[in-house]
Structure 1
Amino acid sequence: MRRSERLLYAANGVDLRVADVELTGGGHVERPFVRTPPAAGAVVFHGGRVLLLWRHRLITDTWGWEIPLGEIGPDEEPEQAAARHVEEQTGWRPGPLLPLIRTRPGGDVADCDHLIFVAHQASPGAAPAAGADGERAEWQPTLDIQRLIGEQAITSATTSAALLHFLADLLRARPSH
């Protein structure tokens, strides 16, 4: 059980904190963790494909496919934030969004809370915001998702969880023979 926490450092909406945690059976330890604002994103599906972003992550110095995702703004509903991030990051406007999954990919090191939606259609919207060199949005076949995860072309925990959950929903919706 967390007894208390203290702030070590804060910048750009992210706090580094230390929690004083009481252990089962007595005693306590200090555990560092990162507190982040909640985020929303979406799996956008159309014509047997999903809309993904090819992104570079500075900390790991790796490139990979990810779903559009970003911070939920003040006074913004998660669904609105998800739609905004899809259009800003990809240039596509998602159709109606339905709740898909809520993930907390940070485990014991971060309190990340990601609310993910699904859209079963999309239409061209405004041009995406300028990204890093090589960053782009593409429609990837749903049949390639498992292979992309296996090849480490998708490593984001939120993206993997959302896409696998989405695929499970597709299989469940199929009529059985």
Structure 2
Amino acid sequence: MSVEPKRASEWTIHGERVVDDTRRAVLSIADVELPDGVRFEQYVLRIPAAAMVIVLDDDERVLMMWRHRFIVDRWVWELPGGYLDPAEDSMTCAAREVEEETGWRPRSIEKLISFQPMVGTIDQENIVYLARGADFTGAAPDINEAERLGWIPLDEIQQHIDDGTIVGAGSVSGLLALLLRKATGKL
């Protein structure tokens, strides 16, 4: 087995110490060195992967949740989704989260996009799935998750992003990927 040589612009990690370790996050401080020899400490946050779903109905509307996010103190539209349980398949998580949070069961699910929202500080894969259609289970949406649900026309999504009512990295990235598919005729 060969080891790939270090690249000129690669940072050197001299160590990492854990500051806090909880079920949903590990916060640590890494001792890093830049290629020019400058050394400093960098906060690192490792969070379990998350899966989100764009549920698209036959009328090209997206199922979204209207919820308050206390950290930014704003009401926003978000896609249903959540953290993967240990050893849980991301697609299974995605389908489970939609049903638990909204009362809708996705019909078919396919992977749309995967991304890291803040690679300079946070390690958390986000996987966004596209569900074509859903069936209402009769269950009420979880009051702890959303004030209400809405079926937002796909043609109005860009305006919500521009207006700042869709701001979460997962929702924005996934919805922009969907809009790109539509624009290129691949939807």
Q: Normalising to structure 1: TM-score of the pair?
A: 0.91
Q: 1:173 aligns to what SS in structure 2? A: coil
Choose the corresponding residue for 1:50, options 27, 37, 62.
62
Mapped pair 1:28 → 2:39: yes
**Deviation larger for 25-34 or 92-101:** 25-34
Pairwise CA distance, 1:3: 3.2
**Conservation of the 8 A alpha-carbon contact between 1:14 and 1:35:** yes
Provide Cα deviations, 1:102-145, integer angstroms capped at 9, x if missing partner: 12112322112111110111111252453249622211111110
**Runs (5+) with no aligned partner, structure 1:** none
What SS class does the counterpart of residue 41 from structure 2 fall into? strand
Indicate which of 17, 26, 33 corresponds to 1:15. Answer: 26
- Which structure: larger Rg? 2
Give CA deviations for 1:25-69 in whole Å, capped at 9, x if unaligned: 213211112110111111110121001111111111111011111
1:133 and 1:17 mapped to 2: Cα distance? 29
Residues 1:165 and 2:177 aligned together = yes
Q: Aligned-pair RMSD on alpha carbons?
A: 1.9
Q: Which amino acid counterpart does residue 13 of structure 1 have in structure 2?
A: R
Q: Does 2:154 correspond to 1:142?
A: yes
Decide which of 109, 115, 123 is 2:121's aligned counterpart: 109
CA distance in 1, matches of 2:170, 2:186: 25
Mapped to 1, the partners of 2:51 and 2:30 lie a distance apart of: 26
Question: Is 1:152 aligned with 2:167?
Answer: no
Please, what TM-score do these two structures have when normalized by structure 2?
0.86
Alignment match, 1:93: 105
Give the aligned partner of residue 7 of structure 2: none
Aligned structure 1 segments of 4 or more residues deviating by more than 4 angstroms: none
> Contact conserved, 2:50 with 2:84, CA < 8 A, in 1?
yes
Whether the aligned pair in 1 keeps the contact of 2:52 and 2:170 (CA below 8 Å) is: no
